[in-house]
Amino acid sequence: MLATDRHPEGPRFHQRSEGSCAEGYEPPHLVIPSSSKRSREPRRNLLSALMPQSTKSHHITITNITKIIIILRYVPAVVSNVYSALPALMEPMAKPNIKVFDTTLRDGEQSPGCSMTVTEKLSMARQLDRLGVDIIEAGFPIASLGDFEAVQAVAREVRRPVIAALARCTPGDVERAFDAVCRAAHPRIHCFLAVSDIHLEYKLKISRESALAQANAAVKLAKSLCWDVEFSPEDATRAGLDFLCAMVETVIAAGATTINIPDTVGYAVPTEWTNIIQTLRKQVKGIETVTISVHCHNDLGLAVANSLAAIEAGARQVECTVNGIGERAGNAALEEIVMAMRVRGDRMPYTTNIVTEELHPSSQLLAGIVGFPVQPNKAVVGANAFAHEAGIHQHGVMSNPLCYEIMTPQSVGAPGTRIVLGKHSGRSALVRRYAELGVELSRAEAEAAYWRFIELADRKKNIYDMDLLSLVGAQVRPAPAAASAAMHAVAD
Ligand code: KIV
Ligand code: ZN
């Protein structure tokens, strides 16, 4: 059967070359972005429920007397309906779900030194599936044969999420992208074209009119191949807002289903995001039929804050990467966005489909694959994210972790709280560690050990269990737990 036969909107399908997707093509399932429509439904129903039944069907003659009669007749009914609907009004509205679009395998891979082989991309894609991301952008198929094959492999094997492939707005790119994802259970073609004057003039050397025409043609071609089409106006945050609106309106008319607004060079600040998203929602015809997405780079360290501002203004898809890897200073970090919304659900009442316990394993797997270590103080997944060295903090955490931890290590799949012994540590953490090592100290011995420990910590960055034992002239006790604990470094 030809793909055209089963395409939901019945558009023209291009005849593909030998070995391309036309042969044995399995058509995509429909992925209909309806979250925004869905979230408005209850409100509309509620308003209609507030109207007295009879006003819905009656036509009213337009004379003042009839109007007065109607007001007198129906106002009490409306008031009474409002009153009886109050409990429903006070019930919490369903929280909007934010789609997580992971671009670790595409934008992340574009970080210097982060390129991945087909096998590595596949194993990361399987982990992203376990993590629960909604969309995996698996690569940029026109870029190389390796990238094409990686996208194809991910599309064939990872069946739950949408699999997206990136394409510039040219027929060759769009067709290559489709050939790579066409066997996915849920394929998406992601087209992009620059909209800022600086990119149009110096990089593409085309006019605004040509850009509109090129985007229109590419999105139409993509739509003829695949129902799910995303469009990104590159460098949107440095473009004129009117032209951005014109571009977005053009590609929506051409069939785009997701409009992703990229801050390509990490230039925007959060308040600008509010304005951009609100302006698009006010001015662009058809915007309510698509999912608005945000894609932020981290050149000023604002990628996560900007993404959250865009979500608050109405974006319902967020593009991000594990560990925040990506071009230059990276992309918005997936784990930070997700945990910010989860920990501060009181201020950001949104849900995601992310299995947060898979955040740390995902971070570790990626670091191993790209050979790019996670900075120790990285939020959520860094080695120090749940480590405490200062005595005051250690004391607080030992009596209740909530004193200095706003999420549990378990909630992000991290190994646990770590009490690190260093020169800022206090007596209670030291005595506790000795007890864990099977060494009971009298008060006087503990005091003496503490001062010897502080003196050592002033000279040495890392204090190991063996160091602690030698400070008190003790041996590791034979008890298995104590013996194995002693083999572990207290601080790395
Ligand atoms: O940063 C960017 O503009 C991009 C687009 C391709 C979405 O990565
Ligand atoms: Zn990017």
**Atom nearest to 234 CA in ligand 1:** 3
Collapsing DSSP to helix, strand or coil, 121 comes out as helix
Residue 145: per-residue pLDDT: 97
**Atom nearest to 264 CA in ligand 1:** 1
Tell me the best of 111, 168, 189, 192 to mutate to test the pocket of ligand 1, counting ligand atoms within 8 Å of each CB and taking the most.
192
Q: Write out the residue limits of the CATH 3.20.20.70 domain(s) in the chain.
A: 99-370
Residue 85: per-residue pLDDT: 59
Are 479 and 438 within 8 A, CB to CB?
A: yes
Ligand 1 geometric centre to CA of 253 (Å): 21
Give residue ranges with CB within 6 A of ligand 1: 107, 192, 232, 234, 260, 262, 264, 295, 297
Ligand 1 geometric centre to CA of 261 (Å): 9
Q: Which residues contact 48 (CB under 8 A, 6 or more apart)?
A: 56
- Tokens 């004379």 found at: 63
Measured distance CA(213)–CA(273) in Å, rounded: 26
Residue 142: per-residue pLDDT: 98
Q: What is the pTM of this model?
A: 0.79
Smallest CA separation from ligand 1 atom 1, residue: 264
pLDDT tens-digit series, residues 204-215:
999 999 999 999
pLDDT tens-digit series, residues 265-311:
999 999 999 999 999 999 999 999 999 999 999 999 999 999 999 99
List the chain residues with pLDDT less than 50. Answer: 1-19, 22, 24-61, 478-492
Q: Which ligand is nearest to the CA of 261?
A: 1
Are 228 and 34 within 8 A, CB to CB?
A: no
Residue 74: per-residue pLDDT: 63
Smallest CA separation from ligand 1 atom 6, residue: 192
CATH superfamily of 99-370: Aldolase class I (3.20.20.70)
Measured distance CA(245)–CA(354) in Å, rounded: 31
Ligand 2 geometric centre to CA of 85 (Å): 46
Q: Which ligand is nearest to the CA of 324?
A: 2
Measured distance CA(302)–CA(108) in Å, rounded: 17
**Atom nearest to 262 CA in ligand 1:** 3
Ligand 1 geometric centre to CA of 481 (Å): 51
Ligand 1 geometric centre to CA of 262 (Å): 6
Long-range contacts of 240-244 (CB under 8 A, 24+ apart): 240/197, 241/275, 241/276, 241/279, 243/195, 243/208, 244/195, 244/276, 244/280
Ligand 2 geometric centre to CA of 234 (Å): 8
